[in-house]
Amino acid sequence: MTITKQKICVIGLGYIGLPTASLLGTKGFQVHGVDVTPSVVDTINQGRIHIVEPDLDILVKSAVGSGNLRAGLEPVEADVFILAVPTPFKDDHQPDLSYIEDATRRIAPYVKPGNLVILESTSPVGTTENVVAKILSEEGHKIGDEVFVAHCPERVLPGRILTELVENDRIVGGIDEKSTAKAIEFYNSFVRGEVLATNARTAEMAKLTENAFRDVNIAFANELSLICDEQEINVWEMIELANRHPRVNILQPGPGVGGHCIAVDPWFIVAASPKHSNLIRMARKVNDSKPDWVVDKVRASAKKFKHPIIGCLGLSFKADVDDLRESPALGIVRQIHKQQLGELIVAEPNISAHDEFDLLPYQEVIKRADILLLLVDHKEFRGLKASDLKELVLIDTRGVVR
């Protein structure tokens, strides 16, 4: 059997699963995607998509059109199973592994000797072995002899997923050497980046470390933004200048850190090693407290008006996506609404409607606002000029207005 004829079953058709499934479909694999939401399954089977991601619509249409991608509510037999389900945390910041447990139980009846099971979901150290391999073993599979299990953490950046799926280097950590070798062979068949071998625990920790690294660095930028505000220094100009040093590369301050990854994954490290994760925990706290600081700024400005109209630009967690998960922008807008700081008007160009807030075209928000709160650096807002916004109080949390 040649590798391109392999059957792949992808569990979870979200921001990682759907791009992966459709990419594999266009590379000649026969892909069956599984999701728990019937409307998602129907949309994909019509060759359409339920999320915003550049060029994903074209890829899904092509994969479904060629007959290589089908979606369903139930898994099917396959050569390779890819688990791409969410790994959120619970109220106490402990990881919630229930989606991985469920997905593993659901594929278990369809797994056969010779199959490879890959966990792509970002996971706490030990999950591949103690959850996925363990459940499959309890369901009667001979792990390591007949069924192979590996972790290959996804690393793609929303907004650039299709490029990064192919171009990024990948880390592959099997629960044993045979599992690692099988998974490497699979990824080498469609990844142009280098595929690097390790064990499952190191792969798990490497992925958590990547996101914690970014979180700590953003926390540094966010802390600088508070210091510079107090010292009446433009933090973005200052960072640009400091970054001209050959060994300094500071990230950008913002209204806080959102999304399903960077705001979540560092907690998995803290949960496993609470005694030794002071910096990582503190970075999370710095980033999580930034939205309150922004709301305080809005409150202070609102006091200068009798009936302030507060215009908010952006709701998503970052630029040019429709994803509202853990979005600091959405949290800030909710607080402004809850604290009744003024009349609220909102624009989010990537979303057609929102169940809590009426959305207006951004030009109208700019025209009507007394206070303009820029929360997301969407491409529509990047050309805004301070000279055109002189009439209003501008709170630019992303430093895009020049």
Catalytic residues: 207, 261
Q: Which of 100, 99, 113, 123 is nearest to 171 (CA)?
A: 123
Q: Kindly state the smallest distance separating residue 76's Cβ from ligand SAJ, in Å.
A: 26
Torsion sign across C-alpha atoms 181, 183, 185, 191:
negative
**Interaction between residue 262 and ligand SAJ (CB under 6 A):** yes
Q: Judged by CB under 6 A, which of 106, 214, 299, 334 binds ligand SAJ?
A: 214
Partnered with residue 7 across adjacent β-strands are: 30
**Interaction between residue 254 and ligand SAJ (CB under 6 A):** yes
Q: Kindly state the smallest distance separating residue 207's Cβ from ligand SAJ, in Å.
A: 7
Q: Which stretch binds ligand SAJ (CB under 6 A): 61-69, 128-136, 258-266, 295-303?
A: 258-266
Distance (Å, rounded) from C-alpha 340 to C-alpha 310? 10
Total residues contacting ligand SAJ by CB under 6 A comes to 20
Choose between 111 and 257: whose C-beta lies nearer to ligand SAJ.
257
> What element of type H or E holds 137?
helix 134-138
SS3 at position 270: helix
Q: Judged by CB under 6 A, which of 122, 179, 180, 350 binds ligand SAJ?
A: 122
For residue 96, give Cα distances in angstroms to 92, 265, 280.
Answer: 10, 11, 19
Residue 184 near residue 134 (C-beta atoms within 8 A): no
Q: Judged by CB under 6 A, which of 259, 266, 291, 349 binds ligand SAJ?
A: 259
Which residues from 31-90 bind ligand SAJ, rule CB under 6 A?
none
Q: Which stretch binds ligand SAJ (CB under 6 A): 23-31, 73-81, 254-262, 307-315?
A: 254-262
Strand order across the 393-396 sheet: 343-347, 309-313, 371-374, 393-396
**Interaction between residue 342 and ligand SAJ (CB under 6 A):** no
* Amino acid, single-letter form, for residue 346: V
Which residues from 134-163 bind ligand SAJ, rule CB under 6 A?
154-158
Q: Judged by CB under 6 A, which of 118, 191, 257, 347 binds ligand SAJ?
A: 257
Choose between 218 and 283: whose C-beta lies nearer to ligand SAJ.
218
Choose between 259 and 311: whose C-beta lies nearer to ligand SAJ.
259
**Interaction between residue 289 and ligand SAJ (CB under 6 A):** no
> What element of type H or E holds 104?
helix 98-107
Q: Which of 225, 229, 230, 280 is nearest to 253 (CA)?
A: 225
Q: Kindly state the smallest distance separating residue 35's Cβ from ligand SAJ, in Å.
A: 18
Q: Judged by CB under 6 A, which of 62, 188, 189, 252 binds ligand SAJ?
A: 252
> What element of type H or E holds 20?
helix 17-26
Residue 300 near residue 261 (C-beta atoms within 8 A): no
**Interaction between residue 261 and ligand SAJ (CB under 6 A):** yes
As a whole number of Å, the CA-based R_g of the chain is 23
Partnered with residue 172 across adjacent β-strands are: 197
Choose between 167 and 391: whose C-beta lies nearer to ligand SAJ.
167
Binding site for ligand SAJ (CB under 6 A): 122, 154-158, 210-211, 214, 218, 251-252, 254, 257-259, 261-262, 317-318
